[in-house]
Amino acid sequence: MRQSRQDALERWLEAEREDRADAAEAALLELFEALPLTAPPAGFADRVLARAGLAEARQDLFAWRPLRVVLALCLLATGLGALWLPPVLGFLAGLWSVGGAVRGGLRVMTDAAGWLATALRLWDFLSMIAQALARPLAEPQVMAILVGCLLASGLAFRFLRDQITGERNWTYVDPS
Protein backbone atom coordinates (compact mmCIF):
# COMPACT_ATOMS: atom_id res chain seq x y z
CA MET A 1 0.00 0.00 0.00
CA ARG A 2 1.38 3.38 -0.91
CA GLN A 3 2.04 6.05 1.70
CA SER A 4 -0.95 8.29 0.74
CA ARG A 5 -3.37 5.40 1.09
CA GLN A 6 -1.81 4.44 4.40
CA ASP A 7 -2.12 8.03 5.66
CA ALA A 8 -5.77 8.22 4.60
CA LEU A 9 -6.47 4.90 6.32
CA GLU A 10 -4.81 6.07 9.56
CA ARG A 11 -6.65 9.43 9.47
CA TRP A 12 -9.94 7.63 8.94
CA LEU A 13 -9.35 5.20 11.81
CA GLU A 14 -8.19 8.04 14.09
CA ALA A 15 -11.31 10.11 13.27
CA GLU A 16 -13.55 7.11 13.92
CA ARG A 17 -11.93 6.50 17.30
CA GLU A 18 -12.43 10.16 18.29
CA ASP A 19 -16.05 10.29 16.99
CA ARG A 20 -15.37 13.03 14.42
CA ALA A 21 -17.91 12.05 11.79
CA ASP A 22 -17.09 14.74 9.19
CA ALA A 23 -13.35 14.07 9.28
CA ALA A 24 -13.97 10.31 9.15
CA GLU A 25 -16.23 10.72 6.09
CA ALA A 26 -13.64 12.87 4.31
CA ALA A 27 -10.80 10.44 5.04
CA LEU A 28 -12.89 7.45 3.95
CA LEU A 29 -13.86 9.21 0.73
CA GLU A 30 -10.22 9.97 0.04
CA LEU A 31 -9.35 6.33 0.72
CA PHE A 32 -12.00 5.10 -1.75
CA GLU A 33 -10.88 7.61 -4.40
CA ALA A 34 -7.35 6.27 -4.16
CA LEU A 35 -8.47 2.75 -5.04
CA PRO A 36 -7.81 1.79 -8.65
CA LEU A 37 -10.80 1.36 -10.93
CA THR A 38 -11.02 -2.16 -12.20
CA ALA A 39 -12.97 -2.93 -15.33
CA PRO A 40 -13.07 -6.16 -17.26
CA PRO A 41 -11.18 -6.15 -20.54
CA ALA A 42 -13.00 -5.39 -23.78
CA GLY A 43 -15.04 -8.30 -25.10
CA PHE A 44 -15.23 -10.04 -21.71
CA ALA A 45 -19.03 -10.49 -21.81
CA ASP A 46 -18.89 -11.86 -25.37
CA ARG A 47 -16.27 -14.43 -24.38
CA VAL A 48 -18.32 -15.54 -21.34
CA LEU A 49 -21.47 -15.93 -23.45
CA ALA A 50 -19.52 -17.85 -26.11
CA ARG A 51 -18.04 -20.21 -23.53
CA ALA A 52 -21.49 -20.74 -21.95
CA GLY A 53 -22.94 -21.50 -25.37
CA LEU A 54 -25.31 -18.54 -25.33
CA ALA A 55 -23.61 -16.44 -27.99
CA GLU A 56 -26.21 -17.44 -30.58
CA ALA A 57 -29.01 -16.03 -28.42
CA ARG A 58 -27.52 -12.56 -28.61
CA GLN A 59 -28.56 -11.76 -32.16
CA ASP A 60 -30.17 -8.58 -33.37
CA LEU A 61 -33.90 -9.12 -33.05
CA PHE A 62 -34.74 -6.61 -35.78
CA ALA A 63 -32.50 -8.44 -38.26
CA TRP A 64 -35.08 -11.24 -38.39
CA ARG A 65 -37.01 -10.85 -41.65
CA PRO A 66 -40.46 -12.04 -40.43
CA LEU A 67 -40.37 -9.48 -37.63
CA ARG A 68 -39.55 -6.74 -40.11
CA VAL A 69 -42.52 -7.77 -42.26
CA VAL A 70 -44.84 -7.75 -39.24
CA LEU A 71 -43.59 -4.30 -38.20
CA ALA A 72 -44.10 -2.98 -41.74
CA LEU A 73 -47.67 -4.32 -41.76
CA CYS A 74 -48.32 -2.71 -38.38
CA LEU A 75 -47.07 0.64 -39.70
CA LEU A 76 -49.29 0.27 -42.77
CA ALA A 77 -52.34 -0.49 -40.59
CA THR A 78 -51.54 2.54 -38.43
CA GLY A 79 -51.31 4.76 -41.50
CA LEU A 80 -54.64 3.52 -42.87
CA GLY A 81 -56.18 3.98 -39.45
CA ALA A 82 -54.98 7.58 -39.43
CA LEU A 83 -56.75 8.08 -42.78
CA TRP A 84 -60.02 6.71 -41.37
CA LEU A 85 -59.80 8.68 -38.12
CA PRO A 86 -61.35 12.02 -39.26
CA PRO A 87 -64.55 10.48 -40.71
CA VAL A 88 -65.03 8.30 -37.64
CA LEU A 89 -64.54 11.28 -35.32
CA GLY A 90 -67.00 13.31 -37.42
CA PHE A 91 -69.58 10.54 -37.11
CA LEU A 92 -69.08 10.30 -33.36
CA ALA A 93 -69.35 14.08 -33.00
CA GLY A 94 -72.68 13.92 -34.84
CA LEU A 95 -73.99 11.52 -32.21
CA TRP A 96 -73.48 14.12 -29.50
CA SER A 97 -76.21 16.50 -30.65
CA VAL A 98 -78.99 17.80 -28.40
CA GLY A 99 -81.59 15.67 -30.17
CA GLY A 100 -79.33 12.61 -29.82
CA ALA A 101 -78.89 13.28 -26.13
CA VAL A 102 -82.67 13.63 -25.58
CA ARG A 103 -83.30 10.47 -27.62
CA GLY A 104 -80.66 8.59 -25.62
CA GLY A 105 -82.08 9.83 -22.31
CA LEU A 106 -85.59 8.75 -23.26
CA ARG A 107 -84.30 5.34 -24.32
CA VAL A 108 -82.50 4.92 -20.98
CA MET A 109 -85.67 5.89 -19.09
CA THR A 110 -87.89 3.46 -21.02
CA ASP A 111 -85.37 0.62 -20.61
CA ALA A 112 -85.11 1.35 -16.88
CA ALA A 113 -88.92 1.29 -16.59
CA GLY A 114 -89.02 -2.06 -18.40
CA TRP A 115 -86.39 -3.54 -16.07
CA LEU A 116 -88.30 -2.20 -13.05
CA ALA A 117 -91.54 -3.79 -14.29
CA THR A 118 -89.76 -7.13 -14.78
CA ALA A 119 -88.25 -6.94 -11.27
CA LEU A 120 -91.67 -6.14 -9.75
CA ARG A 121 -93.26 -9.11 -11.56
CA LEU A 122 -90.51 -11.39 -10.20
CA TRP A 123 -90.98 -9.96 -6.71
CA ASP A 124 -94.74 -10.57 -6.92
CA PHE A 125 -94.14 -14.21 -7.97
CA LEU A 126 -91.64 -14.81 -5.15
CA SER A 127 -93.92 -13.22 -2.54
CA MET A 128 -96.78 -15.46 -3.70
CA ILE A 129 -94.55 -18.53 -3.19
CA ALA A 130 -93.46 -17.26 0.24
CA GLN A 131 -97.09 -16.78 1.31
CA ALA A 132 -97.98 -20.28 0.12
CA LEU A 133 -95.15 -21.71 2.24
CA ALA A 134 -95.80 -19.51 5.28
CA ARG A 135 -99.54 -20.16 5.54
CA PRO A 136 -99.19 -23.80 6.72
CA LEU A 137 -96.39 -22.86 9.09
CA ALA A 138 -98.75 -20.51 10.91
CA GLU A 139 -100.87 -23.51 12.03
CA PRO A 140 -99.85 -24.74 15.54
CA GLN A 141 -100.13 -28.42 14.61
CA VAL A 142 -97.72 -28.07 11.64
CA MET A 143 -95.32 -26.02 13.73
CA ALA A 144 -95.32 -28.67 16.48
CA ILE A 145 -94.55 -31.41 13.94
CA LEU A 146 -91.68 -29.34 12.50
CA VAL A 147 -90.19 -28.67 15.93
CA GLY A 148 -90.41 -32.40 16.73
CA CYS A 149 -88.61 -33.23 13.47
CA LEU A 150 -85.94 -30.65 14.25
CA LEU A 151 -85.36 -32.13 17.72
CA ALA A 152 -85.19 -35.68 16.31
CA SER A 153 -82.68 -34.72 13.63
CA GLY A 154 -80.55 -32.78 16.14
CA LEU A 155 -80.51 -35.76 18.52
CA ALA A 156 -79.62 -38.14 15.65
CA PHE A 157 -76.82 -35.85 14.57
CA ARG A 158 -75.47 -35.73 18.12
CA PHE A 159 -75.43 -39.55 18.45
CA LEU A 160 -73.86 -39.95 15.00
CA ARG A 161 -71.11 -37.44 15.85
CA ASP A 162 -70.36 -39.22 19.13
CA GLN A 163 -70.23 -42.58 17.32
CA ILE A 164 -67.83 -41.32 14.65
CA THR A 165 -65.49 -39.45 17.01
CA GLY A 166 -65.41 -42.39 19.43
CA GLU A 167 -64.01 -44.74 16.79
CA ARG A 168 -61.40 -42.31 15.49
CA ASN A 169 -57.83 -42.89 16.70
CA TRP A 170 -54.25 -42.29 15.55
CA THR A 171 -53.25 -45.97 15.18
CA TYR A 172 -54.20 -48.12 12.25
CA VAL A 173 -53.17 -51.53 13.62
CA ASP A 174 -54.14 -53.05 16.92
CA PRO A 175 -50.96 -53.13 19.05
CA SER A 176 -51.74 -56.53 20.66
Residue 28: give the domain boundaries: 1-36
Is 106 among the domain residues?
Answer: no
Number of helices (H), then strands (E), belonging to the chain: the values are: 6, 0
Q: Is residue 12 part of a domain?
A: yes
Question: How does pLDDT run across 131-147, given as a tens digit for each residue?
Answer: 998 898 889 999 999 99
Q: Is 7 in contact with 15 (CB distance < 8 Å)?
A: no
Instruction: Give how many domains the chain has, as a whole number.
Output: 1
pLDDT of residue 169: 63
Is 19 domain-assigned? yes
Collect the ranges in the chain with pLDDT lower than 70: 1-2, 55-59, 61, 95, 167-176
